[in-house]
Amino acid sequence: MLMLVLGKGKTGSLVAQVARERGHSVRVMDRENAGAAALTAPTVAMVDVILDFTTPEAALENMRACLALGARVVVGTTGWYDRLPDMKALALRRGGALLYSSNFSIGAQKFFQLTAKLADLDGYTYTISETHHTTKLDAPSGTALSLRDILLARHPDAHIEIESLRVGDANGLHVVTAKGPSDQIEIRHEAFDRRGFAEGAVLAAEWLAGKSGAWAFREVFDKVLGDKL
């Protein structure tokens, strides 16, 4: 497969490296500065999947440009989900494909599943804490918001607080706490580096090839693992 990675930051560069390790051809474009005009029809047509790891503003421009041309796009950038319905509609209207996630790490996806099981408890109150590096732009993190959505799906009237910390060069720590009258349960996921995100994103891109539609990675995670591992 030929993959186009948008974003030359730490995660985008590692995504390109992992894709090459898995035998794919890769082009990398710094889409945070180049402008949407660089994503022309010939450029988009020659690649199988586009992976975006840029900024919220750049990611929206990228999706508009690529999905309008019927491209298949994997988006690991967060902070743009208020426009998610528009991007889904564009993908469906143009016959493209959109696969997005607040966290493509395989471990984080398992963490989401465990959180859904934890949410089955009644009589508990839930809180979330997240810690990231000081240069992370969004707070709360997209992963923390996903965790809150999972809990709210089971407890729609609950007030779930999120504590956001920005410390040094932390790669990402998320803790979900369920506190009851007699005990307390905590589950946590800590990323030691960015490789887990990159590996999951490349698996997602491999799964997306040849498909049309729009999905959250959580919706197809088990299928991705079944196809690729």
What single string gives the DSSP state of each residue in 106-134? HHHHHHHHHHHHHTT-SS-EEEEEEEE-T
Which residue, among 132, 118, 30, has the nearest Cα to 78 in the 3D structure? 132
- Is the distance from CB of 72 to CB of 2 less than 8 angstroms? no
What value does the CA radius of gyration of the chain take, rounded to a whole number of Å?
Answer: 18
Q: pLDDT value at position 227?
A: 57
pLDDT at 64 (0 to 100)? 94
SS3 42: helix
Average pLDDT over residues 197-222: 95
Three-class SS of residue 5?
strand
> Is residue 229 pLDDT above 50, yes or no?
no
Give residue 138's pLDDT: 80
With both helix axes pointing from N to C terminus, report the angle between 106-118 and 142-154 in degrees, rounded to the nearest 10: 30
| Per-residue pLDDT tens digits for 142-188 | 899 999 999 999 999 999 999 999 999 888 899 999 999 999 999 99
pLDDT band at 32 (very low <50, low <70, confident <90, very high): low
What integer is the mean pLDDT of 187-205?
95
- For the annotated catalytic residues, the residue numbers are 132, 136
Q: What's the pLDDT tens digit per position in 43-88?
A: 888 999 999 999 898 999 999 999 999 999 999 998 899 999 999 9
Give yes or no for residue 136 having a pLDDT over 90: no
Predicted local confidence at residue 44, as pLDDT? 85
Model confidence at 33: pLDDT above 60: no
Sign, CA dihedral 67-72-77-78, equals positive
How far apart CA 197 and CA 124 sit, in angstroms, is: 31
Q: Quote the pLDDT of residue 8.
A: 87
Does residue 121 register a pLDDT over 90? yes
Please check the confidence at residue 31 and state whether its pLDDT lies above 60.
no
Residue 36 has a pLDDT of: 56
Cα gap 190→133, rounded to integer Å = 13
Mean pLDDT, the chain, as a whole number?
92
Residue 228 pLDDT > 60, yes or no? Answer: no
120 C-beta neighbours (distance < 10 Å), count = 9
Structural domains present in the chain: 2-104+195-228 (3.40.50.720), 106-190 (3.30.360.10)
